[in-house]
Structure formats: structure tokens, C-alpha cells
Amino acid sequence: MQLKTRALGALAGLVSVFALTAGAIAADRAYTEEVIIQVSSIRTEPGMYDEYMKYLAGPYKQFMEEQKKAGIILDYAVYSVVPRVPSDPDLYLTTTLKDMAALECVDGRSDPIAEKIFGSMQQQNAAGVERGKMRSLIGEELIRQLVLK
């Protein structure tokens, strides 16, 4: 019994040392890690820019606003850019999340909202095919904001 108590005490001490060391290392950083921004690079198909913008101003905006109300996302935005070459995006869609943990199970939490706005999974898939005729997803990336101390 006494050996078990000593072993647990030693383990607790070791964990405390690691926790304090990690805290000290984090305190030495010249920045703090803040929000995560998910960026989707979009290239609209020729002649489909206005049609795609109608989609963004309609169901997309409604979906994003409902996610904000539910606390799933913090914010979202749409940015227009001038492509340098034909393969570059002409729009960036951004979604701001609190942290990396917010990425976990986003679909599970937003599925009821998607069903309410877009319909059943079959209807959502059909809408995705139609949306694909208006634009191409060039790529996606995650960006973490670092705030300098």
C-alpha cells in the first residue's frame, strides 16, 4: 500500500513538472495562438460568376448564419480576387472557428442545419452537382492566427 502511494506521488510530481515546463515554454513564445480560418479557393466557371454569387447570397449565407447562431462557427466571409493566371481562384470563402477542436464533428453538428436549408442528403448531393457546374474548388487550407505579444 505504501509503495503504491509513493509511486502515485512520484507520478503526480512528474506530471506537475511536465505541466509547468510546458507552461513555461508557452510563456516564452512571442505570440499566442488564436482562431483558425478555413479558406476555400474557388474558381467560377466562365459566365457563372453572377449565378454563383446568387447561390452564396442565398442558401450559402443562410447556412452560415445558422451555424453562427448555433455556435458552430464564429464568422465567415467571401473575398473576390483578380486571378493572375487562368488556374487561380477568383473567390475565397473563409470560415472562422474558435480553435482546432472546433473542427471535430463539425459535420455532425451542422447536418441538421444543412438538412433544414438544403433538404435530404440526396437533395444536397444533387445541389452539389449543380453547384459544380458554376465553380471549381481549387483547394482548401487552414490558417491559424498568431497574435504577437
Go through the domains of the chain in sequence order and give each one's CATH number.
31-148 (3.30.70.100)
**How does pLDDT run across 50-93, given as a tens digit for each residue?**
999 999 999 999 999 999 999 999 999 999 999 999 999 999 99
d(CA 117, CA 127): 12
97 — alpha (psi -120 to 50), left (phi > 0) or beta? beta
Strand partners, 32: 147
* Residues belonging to the chain: 149
Rounded Cα–Cα distance for residues 85 and 126 (Å)? 30
Model confidence, pTM: 0.77
CB atoms within 10 A of CB 45: 13
Q: What is the pLDDT of residues 13-60, one digit of tens each?
A: 444 444 444 445 567 899 999 999 999 999 999 999 999 999 999 999
Judged by DSSP in three states, 72 sits in coil
Q: Please name which of 78, 117, 77, 75 lies closest in space to residue 96, comparing C-alpha atoms.
A: 75
Q: Is 13 exposed, middle or buried (0-12, 13-18, 19+ CB in 10 A)?
A: exposed
